[in-house]
Amino acid sequence: MLANILIDGIAYGMVLFIIAVGLSVTLGLMRFVNLAHGAFAMTGGYLAAWLVGEQGWPFAWGLLAAVVLTGLLGMLLEALVLRRLYRRSELEQVLFTIGLTFLFVATANLLAGPEVQLIPLPGWLKTPVDLGIRTLPAQRLLVIAAGLAVLLLSAWVLGRSRFGIWLRATVDNTGTAAALGIPVQWVYALTFGVGAALAGLGGILGAELMPLEPYYPIKYLVLVLVVVAVGGMGSITGSAVAALALGTIETASKYLASDWGSLFFFLSMALFLAWRPQGLLVARRA
Amino acid sequence: MGKKMNWLGAALLAVGMVGAAQAQTVKVGIIAPFSGPFAHYGTLFRAGAEAYVASQGGKLAGQNIEFVWRDEGGPNPANTRTLAQELVVKDKVDYIGGIVFSPNASAVAPVIQESKTPMVIFNAATSDITTKSDYYIRTSYTLWQVTVPAAQHAAKKGYKRVVTAVSDYAPGIDAETAFKAEFSKLGGQVTESIRMPVRTTDFAPFAQRIKASGAQAVYVFLPGGPPNLGFVKAYQENGLRQAGIEFLGTAETDEFDLQKFGDSALGLTTLFHYSGARDSAANKAFVAAVNKQNKEAVINYATVGAWDGMYVIHKMIEATGGKRDGDKAMAAAKTLKWESPRGPVAIDPNTRHITQNVYLRVVEKGAGGLLINKEVQTFPAQVDHGLVK
Amino acid sequence: MTGLPLHAPPLWRQVLPYVALLGLALLIYFVFPDQLPMAARIAALAIFVMSLDLVVGYGGLATLGHSAMYGVGAYAAGLLAMHLTGNPLLGLLAGACAGALLAFLSGLFLLRYEGLTFLMLTIAISQIAQNLASKLRTWTGGEDGLSGFAIGKILGLASFDLQGRVAFVYCFAAMFICLWLMRRLMASPFGLACVGIHQNRQRMAALGTRIRWQLLKLYTIAGAFAGISGALAAQVAQIVGLDTLGFELSAEALVMLVLGGAGNLWGALAGTVIFASIHHWASTLNPYHWLFIIGGMLVTVVLVPRERWGQALARRMQVFRRAAAPAGGSS
């Protein structure tokens, strides 16, 4: 039982993490409240469903293309529209991005109808893998592996690469960073794009757990926000820990107390936030 | 959405008023989900209802039919009541049809009772709905109706330990209660009764619980659409059949999603009142009529629920001569017996619910390599066992 | 921004909006009786959005969990009617008390936090309430909703009719009274203190205001009104569903508030009317089209803030005045 809870919980947590990490970074870096983030996850999923399902592309290529396209869409949106809102109040950002979300939802319905979109998995992902304690479809293992990859890669990029240095500098003090010759606008655009691309990846990988349908961005918005808030805005490891912890709690409650619904999830979230309002791993501000 | 039909209705109405034409318009309000994850129900109700009218030559009992479509959304009883109230007060409909979710169906009871508007339920499946007003008729099914035969089948197959897994709302609880009652009566034991929140999207934890229960079979009920799809996939992906737990379902192999399961669905057993693949003249005519109306519409229990529902409305219009008379319409409806695409049916005058055959079906490969629900056994003339004990 | 004048305007200007509102109600009642059920629902919902305005517009606390108070008010009224008495006014009282109690208790916890943390915690409270209501099926009816309760005659005079006439008069009267009460309240020193806190917390603290206590009072009062709104809705529909506690309701109320303009309560009313009307009208065409319209409106409202509309209008007026008095000169 425990093994089951852990495995399913980690898989679910990884999906939440992959989707949420982009929002956490944009929120922490640009202080921009983008509630349309779930729409990127949906876009990635829909694109993959279309490319792999209808156009018949092989799964890996379809996934790659969908993720890249979503990232480009994110960059485009940032450069054309969202950039103007950076100086606005939080409430205005919230409302604008909610409006944007509504537009995404309506467009998804217009283009693809109200049904759930399925991404056909290739045979090798559907085969059950016997771990000894439990058999689970290979797809879940892929999700866990992808989550780990994203975590490690982002930690490496932030810590070791030049872009990471630019990013951290821009977060700490945008003016000085720009004065030093760092292309701040590009850093913003690229970071936003990568966040959107990751959300798209999460949407594709999580399509089994969180079905793709037009209301997706609204339905799962709360979950993503919870992960970001509990993990701490801007903290990637924080998001990972929050996602895994909350994902496991939610899965455990499904196994042990399913008629309580998501109550324990939200209770835990409230307790985590009350204990650490700035985020799980973020040092308390004085 | 309803524009074409309204154009036709309005034009005919105009002709009727100008000339000495005798045809009048009967307005039928249909409440169904047209948005959200259950929006396919709305499309199918529409296909079935419009196909029926078309098959009768465009008029029912000499009257023109004007449909007024309203979006039910999801389970939202307060909103549905308002929609029904508006249909009656503002749009002045003569009949109401549709409704997928049981709480929504119950909510309109005061409206139809006070206004004496007959309401034909095309889907909502909880037994006690029809007791809440004298003006309900139902052409879909109830959980008691299909579950009692399921329990009988389980007992006959020699299962001693069965676990039930249902969605946690009225129809699901009906299914759980019905199965437990009948199965225990026949000497079996329900080892665990699992209730799954309606909002669940990930059924793997429940599949694992079922696997760990050590039962011989699992009896299942979930609402049609994404929950069905998710559960059956979880059943397959977690190797439940290999673990020796047989699948005993209701509408889970719904034609709407059936092809998506692939070959791993072969052999799944369900007990339900309608299979699109039924080999009868009435069914073939029905399939042809719906295809003519809407090539892409799936033929399933929702489509036939609307089709038969319109048949009942047709007969009520006939009995009242196209005039609004709720009591006369209901009196006529209670006497109906006919051959539906699903088999021989009748309206039970006491419960106002449709008495029909329930079939044991197994998923097989049909013509053209498509998966079908093949009827292998008939449980004739089942009533609503929840109301008729 | 908050619409509070520095000097009190003349009496006729204060009374005019209320008279106009009454006129609108009479118009709907006599000229558009088909719309009465819809109008009743809008009136009940408007109280909710106005109560949200107290918290968001006046108090400056962004919340997405306000539906919790609405929902407990609705269930309180429904349970009262089911088990004790169908007296509608007592039901409203029950709703107000339930909403106020929940707001007070949750406010004790919530108001320690700010910003995103506060927002997320408000969501948590309403989700916990919703999941709890779903679990307590025997009391609340769970997913199937609480139904089967009858509402008695209002003031012993009239019971709800199918046409929705009584419901409309009842809801409109309640809304009218609540609106007047709320405006009086926010124009009082208490209300001004809350606005002060919104504008500059440090300054208010320096003046000796007990910030958390003031905000708690505001939150509790808003909770009471939200509870009244829920109770009204429950009584008129005679059914209460889990959606009364849902996130969607909180989010929609926030959208309504912003569309109409936060901070003076009239905007809340206007926003409710606009949103509900568009939702209803667009839904009959196609259930998704309303999302295009509302989404587009939100995007536009934010990109072109109301001040700009006001400025553009003022500039037009200036041009017009200049054109009308060419010899006069400046303004």
Cα of C87 to nearest chain A Cα, Å: 33
- With a CB cutoff of 8 Å and minimum separation 6, the contacts of B74 are B33, B36, B37, B38, B101
**Mean pLDDT: which of A58-62, B161-165, B229-233, C115-119 is highest?**
B161-165
Collect all residues from C whose CB is shorter than 8 A from any CB in A.
56, 62, 109, 112-113, 115-117, 120-121, 123-125, 127-128, 131-132, 134-135, 247-248, 251, 254-255, 258, 288-289, 291-292, 294-299, 301-303, 305
Query: Which residues form the domain of A197?
Result: 2-229
Could you tell me which of B207, B208, B147, B157 has the C-alpha nearest to residue B179?
B147
Cα of B251 to nearest chain A Cα, Å: 18
Does residue A18 belong to any structural domain of this protein? yes
CA count, 13 A, side-chain hemisphere, A215: 14
Cα of A202 to nearest chain B Cα, Å: 15
- Indicate the pairing of strand A128-130 with strand B189-196: unpaired
Does residue B387 belong to any structural domain of this protein? no
Does residue A247 belong to any structural domain of this protein? no
**A238 or B13: which leads in pLDDT:** A238
Host H or E run for residue B345: strand B343-347
CA distance B222 to B164: 11
Query: Which residues form the domain of B74?
Result: 3-141+278-352
B78 and C34: CB-CB below 8 Å? Answer: no
CA distance B58 to B66: 11
Question: Do B64 and B128 fall within a single domain?
Answer: yes
A273 and C294: CB-CB below 8 Å? Answer: no
pLDDT confidence of residue C310: 58
**A1 or C108: which leads in pLDDT:** C108
Query: In which band, very low, low, confident or very high, does the pLDDT at B356 lie, cut at 50, 70 and 90?
Result: very high
Q: Report chain A's C-alpha Rg in angstroms.
A: 19
Whether the per-residue pLDDT at A140 is higher than 80: the answer is yes
**Mean pLDDT: which of A29-38, C67-76, C160-169, C259-268 is highest?**
C67-76
The answer to which of A259-268, B14-23, C21-30, C43-52 has the lowest mean pLDDT is B14-23
Question: Do B28 and B120 fall within a single domain?
Answer: yes
Mean pLDDT of A198-213: 88
Question: Do B149 and B256 fall within a single domain?
Answer: yes
pLDDT confidence of residue C306: 61
Judging contacts by C-beta atoms under 8 Å, the chain A residues touching residue C125 are: 270
Secondary structure (DSSP) of B252-312: TT-HHHHHHHGGGGTT-EEEES--TT--SHHHHHHHHHHHHH-TT---SHHHHHHHHHHHH
B103 and C287: CB-CB below 8 Å? Answer: no
Contact A14, A68 (CB under 8 A): no
Does residue A202 belong to any structural domain of this protein? yes
Mean pLDDT of B368-385: 88
Question: Do B94 and B190 fall within a single domain?
Answer: no
Does residue A153 belong to any structural domain of this protein? yes
pTM recorded for the entire structure: 0.86
B197 and A128: CB-CB below 8 Å? Answer: no
Question: Do B92 and B178 fall within a single domain?
Answer: no
Could you tell me which of B123, B114, B118 has the C-alpha nearest to residue B135?
B118
Whether the per-residue pLDDT at C92 is higher than 80: the answer is yes
Question: Do B319 and B202 fall within a single domain?
Answer: no
Q: Output the six-digit token pair for C65.
A: 């969990």
For B242-271, the pLDDT digits (tens) are 888 999 999 888 888 888 888 878 889 999
Whether the per-residue pLDDT at A255 is higher than 80: the answer is yes
Does residue A69 belong to any structural domain of this protein? yes
Q: Chains B, C: CB contacts under 8 A, how many?
A: 92
Q: Chains A, B: CB contacts under 8 A, how many?
A: 68
C248 and A218: CB-CB below 8 Å? Answer: yes
- With a CB cutoff of 8 Å and minimum separation 6, the contacts of B130 are B121, B136, B137, B138, B351, B352, B353, B384, B387
CA distance C143 to B123: 17
Mean pLDDT of B35-54: 90
C38 and B34: CB-CB below 8 Å? Answer: no
Provide the chain A residues 75-104 that lie in CB contact (below 8 A) with chain C: 84-85, 88, 90-92, 94-96, 98-103
Judging contacts by C-beta atoms under 8 Å, the chain C residues touching residue A262 are: 127, 131
Cα of A248 to nearest chain C Cα, Å: 18
Judging contacts by C-beta atoms under 8 Å, the chain B residues touching residue A209 are: 201-202
Whether the per-residue pLDDT at C328 is higher than 60: the answer is no
Could you tell me which of B73, B124, B79, B126 has the C-alpha nearest to residue B100?
B124
CA distance B357 to B334: 18
Whether the per-residue pLDDT at C23 is higher than 80: the answer is yes
Q: Is B223 helix (H, G, I), strand (E, B) or coil?
A: coil
Handedness of CA B324, B330, B332, B337 (dihedral sign): positive
For B117-138, the pLDDT digits (tens) are 999 999 999 998 999 999 999 9
Question: Do B153 and B132 fall within a single domain?
Answer: no
pLDDT confidence of residue B16: 46
Judging contacts by C-beta atoms under 8 Å, the chain C residues touching residue B78 are: 145, 233, 237, 239-241, 243-244
Provide the chain B residues 65-124 that lie in CB contact (below 8 A) with chain A: none
A270 and C299: CB-CB below 8 Å? Answer: no
pLDDT confidence of residue C324: 63
Length of chain B: 389
Cα of A86 to nearest chain B Cα, Å: 33
What does pLDDT average to over chain B? 88
**Percent of chain A topping pLDDT 90:** 25
All partners of chain C with 3 or more CB pairs under 8 angstroms: A, B
Domain count, chain A: 1
Q: Chains A, C: CB contacts under 8 A, how many?
A: 113
Q: Output the six-digit token pair for A34.
A: 């983008």
Q: Output the six-digit token pair for B183.
A: 């199965």
* CATH fold group of domain C11-285: ABC transporter involved in vitamin B12 uptake, BtuC (1.10.3470)
Query: In which band, very low, low, confident or very high, does the pLDDT at C319 lie, cut at 50, 70 and 90?
Result: low
pLDDT confidence of residue A286: 37
**Mean pLDDT: which of A166-170, B58-62, B176-180, C314-318 is highest?**
B176-180
For A43-77, the pLDDT digits (tens) are 999 999 999 888 888 888 889 999 999 999 999 99
Q: How is chain C split into domains, by residue range?
A: 11-285
Host H or E run for residue C56: none
Whether the per-residue pLDDT at B23 is higher than 60: the answer is no
Could you tell me which of B275, B269, B268, B237 has the C-alpha nearest to residue B254?
B275
CA distance B229 to B5: 33
B39 and A208: CB-CB below 8 Å? Answer: no
A263 and C135: CB-CB below 8 Å? Answer: yes
Contact B342, B274 (CB under 8 A): yes
Compute how many other C-beta atoms are within 10 angstroms of the C-beta atom of residue A171: 17
Closest chain B residue to C246 measured between Cα atoms? B76
Residue C136 in contact with partner chain B when CB distance is under 8 A: no
Mean pLDDT of A105-122: 85
Whether the per-residue pLDDT at B149 is higher than 80: the answer is yes
Residue C163 in contact with partner chain B when CB distance is under 8 A: yes
pLDDT confidence of residue C3: 55
For B266-285, the pLDDT digits (tens) are 889 999 999 988 889 999 99
Give the CATH number, domain containing residue B342.
Answer: 3.40.50.2300
Mean pLDDT of A189-216: 88
pLDDT confidence of residue B320: 92
Interface mutation target, options C116, C242, C245, C294, chain A, most CBs of A under 10 Å: C116
Mean pLDDT of C246-256: 90
A225 and C125: CB-CB below 8 Å? Answer: no
Alpha carbon dihedral C316, C319, C323, C329, in 10-degree steps, equals 150
Does residue A58 belong to any structural domain of this protein? yes
Does residue B88 belong to any structural domain of this protein? yes
- Which amino acid is located at B279 in the chain? D
Question: Do B231 and B377 fall within a single domain?
Answer: yes
Domain count, chain B: 2
Mean pLDDT of B366-374: 86
Judging contacts by C-beta atoms under 8 Å, the chain A residues touching residue B205 are: 4-5, 8, 251, 254-255, 258
Could you tell me which of A231, A223, A194, A228 has the C-alpha nearest to residue A72?
A194
CA distance B348 to C70: 42
**A218 or B65: which leads in pLDDT:** B65
CA distance C2 to A92: 16
Closest chain C residue to B42 measured between Cα atoms? C287
Mean pLDDT of B294-304: 90
The minimal CB distance from B103 to the residues C36, C144, C238 is found for C144
Cα of B156 to nearest chain A Cα, Å: 31
Percent helix, strand and coil across chain A, each to the nearest 5: 75, 5, 20
Could you tell me which of B263, B266, B270, B183 has the C-alpha nearest to residue B220?
B270
Could you tell me which of B192, B193, B230 has the C-alpha nearest to residue B214?
B192
